[in-house]
């Protein structure tokens, strides 16, 4: 089978924190026609996200932090309520989710399960995000959380009843896709069990 895509040029436009590439490629249509197209692709690596929940108390741990892209796109204070997440760096997805849980929330996760993996914005971003849920209890709080100071994260840790978190989706207080996906998954899991 003939390749449908042939990369003609791969130009780096920016390589400051992540990599922005301009890619010119030849795309072969099913009818045999060839098109030359140009797209930009933002490569930030792959990541993992985890939603911590307390099965007895029916609460979840979320974070609140400033996100510049949302601020410049109309979010008045730039603050976002999210599940904890981070880049894989050299870790596998599960190790990353465990690391981020401690760094951002202070909780060391014992039991966790992988829910899915997905491209979050495949038209422009190369990232695959690995989604997890995990249980927590008060005994698992081993650090303050809040993120790494050298990364200037300034993360606020929130413990919220699951039902309140679901309402925050409806009111627009939660607009983060990974958080919405994991909260909806947890809600469905609890309904079917």
Asked if 39 and 105 sit in the same domain, the reply is: no
Q: Are residues 28 and 86 in the same domain?
A: no
**Structural domain count of the chain:** 2
Judge if 15 and 63 occupy the same domain. no
Question: Structure pTM?
Answer: 0.90
pLDDT of 1 reads 47
| End-to-end Cα spacing for the chain | 45
Tokens in use for 75? 């979010």
Residues 124 and 176 in one domain: yes
Instruction: Please give the residue range of the domain that contains residue 28.
Output: 5-43
Report the mean per-residue pLDDT for the chain. Answer: 93
Per-residue pLDDT tens for 15-26? 988 999 999 999
* Rounded CA separation 176/163 (Å): 17
User: Are 30 and 79 contained in the same domain?
Assistant: no
Confidence category of residue 152, pLDDT binned at 50, 70, 90? low
Residue 148 is part of a domain; what is its CATH number? Answer: 3.90.79.10
Nearest of 98, 66, 72 to residue 85 by alpha carbon:
98
Confidence of residue 154 (pLDDT cuts 50, 70, 90): confident
For the chain, the C-alpha Rg in angstroms (whole number) is 19
Looking from the CA of 35 toward its CB, the CA atoms found within 13 Å total 7
Report how far apart, in Å, the C-alpha atoms of 30 and of each of 2, 23, 25, 35, 157 are: 10, 21, 16, 11, 51
What CA–CA distance (Å, rounded) separates 5 from 62? 41
- In this structure, the answer to whether residues 39 and 51 fall within a common structural domain is no
Return the pLDDT at 153.
Answer: 73
């Amino acid at each position: 089978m003939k390749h449908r895509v042939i990369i003609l040029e791969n130009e780096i436009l920016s390589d400051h924190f992540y990599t922005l590439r301009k890619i010119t490629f030849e795309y072969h249509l099913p009818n045999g026609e060839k098109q030359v197209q140009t797209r930009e692709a933002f490569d930030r690596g792959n990541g993992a996200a985890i939603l911590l929940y307390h099965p007895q108390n029916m609460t979840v741990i979320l974070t609140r932090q400033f996100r510049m892209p949302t601020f410049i796109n109309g979010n008045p204070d730039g603050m976002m309520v999210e599940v904890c997440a981070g880049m894989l760096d050299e870790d596998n997805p599960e190790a990353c989710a465990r690391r981020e849980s401690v760094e951002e929330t202070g909780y060391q996760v014992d039991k966790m399960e992988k829910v899915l993996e997905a491209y979050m914005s495949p038209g422009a971003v190369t990232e695959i995000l690995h989604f997890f849920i995990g249980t927590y209890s008060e005994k698992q709080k081993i650090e303050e959380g809040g993120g790494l100071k050298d990364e200037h994260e300034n993360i606020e840790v929130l413990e919220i009843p699951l039902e309140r978190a679901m309402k925050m989706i409806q009111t627009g207080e939660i607009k983060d896709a990974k958080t919405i996906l994991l909260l909806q998954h947890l809600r469905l899991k609890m309904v079917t069990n």
